[in-house]
Amino acid sequence: MTLLRDADLAAAFDRAARSYDTLVAANPGYHTHLRRSARRLGLPHGGAGLRVLDLGCGTGASTAALAAAYPGARITAVDASAGMLERAARKRWRQDVRFVHTPAERLAEAGAGGPFDAVFAAYLFRNATDPDAVLAAVREALAPRGRLAVHEYLLSGRAAHRAMWTAVCRGFVQPVATALGDGELYRHLWHSVLAFDTVDAFTGRVRSAGFGEVRALPLPGWQTGITHTVVARRPGSDTAAGR
């Protein structure tokens, strides 16, 4: 299958925005796992006064996870899909959340702000045409010693985990998505996981992008070996914010 990229992918997400929350809500542990990954940023004092970037915020599920974990943080939420971003911005937010429409690679051009004390990226990297360019943009956007947490479908490399992912997509996700009229997008999402890095390959990619303290942490339930949190830091002064 040919994967969707750039404008075609953003347009597919625009069309799917109306039903996206309904479909992901049927995924056991989806929101719980996002909150767990957000907490793995390890920001102090509830993130009070810190600036956090939610990269690839979609309809705001990852933004909500950050808001729950760090009620004192100022969040900038970015997405390339105008339709998804519009849905996110309509929701009620109890803290300072700013929404910016831009591809992840063009953060600096879009005036998204920064430097940020932390970046959270959920389900983003496997959808990027150039993941290394996104990592470079993230590194540039982070303050020295700033923290990164990537929440992503990153297969372990074991055949059993690959088979489980395909069984879930073929047996549940794809039929429901097709019935909702979004079959093309979810076929892409299914195959994008199979085509993307294993967890070991991705942690190597993050190290090669100049990040330190890189670790991959598993998530529980049926997604064990399928979804991971990869945490890292931008090198820099020990006196930077977020220590």
Q: Give the pairing type, strands 51-55 and 74-79.
A: parallel
C-alpha–C-alpha distance, residues 237 and 148, integer Å:
16
* Token pair belonging to 30: 């989806």
48 within some domain = yes
Computed from CA positions of residues 243, 232, 236, 135, in that sequence, does the dihedral angle turn out positive or negative? negative
For residue 37, is it within any domain? yes
Count Cβ atoms below 10 Å from residue 170 Cβ, excluding itself.
11
| Residue-range definition of the domain harbouring residue 59 | 28-156+197-233
Flag whether 222 is in a domain. Answer: yes
**Sequence letter at residue 213:** E
Q: What is the dihedral of CA 171, 177, 178, 182, to 10 degrees?
A: -150
Contact, 196 vs 148, CB < 8 A? Answer: no
Report yes or no on 173 lying in a domain.
Answer: no
Q: Is 105 domain-assigned?
A: yes
Q: Give this prediction's pTM.
A: 0.95
Residue 220 lies in a domain: yes
181 within a domain of the structure (yes/no):
no
Q: Are 211 and 232 a contacting pair, CB within 8 Å?
A: yes
In three-state form (DSSP H/G/I as H, E/B as E, the rest C), the secondary structure along the chain is: CCCCCHHHHHHHHHHHHHHHHHHHHCCCCHHHHHHHHHHCCCCHHHHCCCEEEEECCCCCHHHHHHHHHCCCCEEEEEECCHHHHHHHHHCCCCCCEEEEECCHHHHHHHCCCCCEEEEEEECCHHHCCCHHHHHHHHHHHEEEEEEEEEEEECCCCCHHHHHHHHHHHHHHHHHHHHHCCCHHHHHHHHHHHHHCCCHHHHHHHHHHCCCEEEEEEECCHHHCCCEEEEEEECCCCCCCCCC
CATH at 101: 3.40.50.150
The tens place of each residue's pLDDT in the chain, 243 residues long, gives 889 999 999 999 999 999 999 998 888 899 999 999 999 999 999 999 999 999 999 999 999 999 999 999 999 999 999 999 999 999 999 999 999 999 998 988 877 878 999 999 999 999 999 999 999 999 999 999 999 999 999 999 999 999 999 999 999 999 999 999 999 999 999 999 999 999 999 999 999 999 999 999 999 999 999 999 999 999 996 433 333
The number of distinct structural domains making up the chain is 1
- Domain assignment present for 15: no
